[in-house]
Amino acid sequence: MAFQMSSRAIGHPAASAAPAAAGPVPRRRRRSLGLGKRRPYGWAIGPVLLLIAWSAGSAAGLIDPRSLPAPWTVVQTALDLISDGRLQDNLLVSLGRAGQGFAYGVVVAVTVALIAGLTRTGEYLFDGTIQLKRSIPSLALIPLLMLYLGIGEGMKISIIALSVFIPVYINLHAYLRAIDTRYIELADSLRLTRLQFILHVVLPGALPGLTLGLRFAVTSAWLALVVVEQINATSGIGYMINLAGSYGQINIVIVGIVVYAVLGFVSDATVRLIERKALSWRRTLSN
């Protein structure tokens, strides 16, 4: 009996060894290199935290209400401005100015970018001059345009259009010139016409540049609007802010600033939504 047990032990060395772990050792999961899981309404975290800090500071007396009124004071002021019609009237005027300037700037920028990006003649005629204009802030041209166009609506809309024109042109032109030459060779082999080449190859390839330029353009439009509405204006959010500042009504000034911030945020979010829909075929880090 002892012989059998010793033989069994000799035949199975593991029987006398320490018990081994049951099954393979689990491998540590490698962390993804991406941005992580998208959270619904994650974009609101930053603004909400800022609002909480503002409210807490005002409630604790850490923020002087003469320098920065409490959020509830600003909300009440906005409701008063809405009740007497001042806020919505000035807002409509500002939206009209920004919309006209934005539309004119985008149409001209896309047209000139296509001409300069797809033809050598267009490049020689336009690109050098536009690169010179790029180094000159559009707001620096206000005195010159006031001499040419006066101080009316034409000058204000022109400044907004110029501010929109540069970012749209620069980004679209850069993407037009960055189209892979293999696509051009493929279009040649398929004997596409010039129009077919532009519609099916050039424009889809340059669409990311256009949407990127539009994102910069909406921000530039609101920045230009803030300035031009304080130059001999009789209406608009900028005029309301300027008038309130003259009388020391800091709460109305804050309301106007918040309106500008909301307009900029909403317009940028709209362009980003259009970008996601139009470029849904792309797989990027943000996806």
**Mean pLDDT of the residues in the chain:** 83
- 45 in a domain, yes or no? no
- 36 in a domain, yes or no? no
With 70 as the cut, is the pLDDT of residue 14 above it?
Answer: no
**Spatial distance between the Cα atoms of 220 and 12, rounded to a whole number of angstroms:** 80
Question: What integer pLDDT is reported at residue 25 of this predicted model?
Answer: 56
| Mean pLDDT on 72-93 | 92
Dump pLDDT digits (tens) for 228-239.
988 888 888 989
- 10 in a domain, yes or no? no
Which CATH number covers residue 170? 1.10.3720.10
Percent of the chain with pLDDT over 90: 32
| Mean pLDDT on 204-220 | 89
Q: What one-letter code names the amino acid at 271?
A: V
Please check whether residue 141 is in contact with residue 227, taking contact to mean a CB–CB distance below 8 angstroms.
no
Q: How far is CA 251 from the centre of its chain?
A: 28
pTM: 0.77
| Mean pLDDT on 245-271 | 90
Dump pLDDT digits (tens) for 122-160.
889 998 889 888 888 888 888 888 888 888 888 999 999
Question: What integer pLDDT is reported at residue 247 of this predicted model?
Answer: 87
**Spatial distance between the Cα atoms of 57 and 48, rounded to a whole number of angstroms:** 14
- 213 in a domain, yes or no? yes
Q: What SS3 class is residue 276?
A: helix
Q: What one-letter code names the amino acid at 284?
A: T
Domain that holds residue 188: 70-278
Reported confidence tier of residue 224, pLDDT bands at 50, 70, 90: very high
- 32 in a domain, yes or no? no
Q: How far is CA 180 from the centre of its chain?
A: 26
**Spatial distance between the Cα atoms of 75 and 252, rounded to a whole number of angstroms:** 10
**Spatial distance between the Cα atoms of 114 and 131, rounded to a whole number of angstroms:** 16
H-state helical runs in the chain: 2-11, 45-59, 71-83, 86-118, 120-122, 128-134, 142-149, 153-177, 181-189, 194-197, 203-228, 237-246, 250-278
- 25 in a domain, yes or no? no
**Spatial distance between the Cα atoms of 162 and 227, rounded to a whole number of angstroms:** 13
**Spatial distance between the Cα atoms of 14 and 6, rounded to a whole number of angstroms:** 13
With 50 as the cut, is the pLDDT of residue 3 above it?
Answer: no
| Mean pLDDT on 51-69 | 88
Most confident of 10-14, 246-250, 274-278: 246-250
| Mean pLDDT on 259-268 | 90
> Which candidate, 229, 205, 272, 194, places its Cα nearest to that of 90?
229
- 230 in a domain, yes or no? yes
Reported confidence tier of residue 22, pLDDT bands at 50, 70, 90: low
Question: What integer pLDDT is reported at residue 13 of this predicted model?
Answer: 47
Taking the CB of residue 87, how many other CB atoms lie within 10 A of it? 21
Count of domains forming the chain: 1
- 58 in a domain, yes or no? no
Dump pLDDT digits (tens) for 151-161.
888 899 999 99
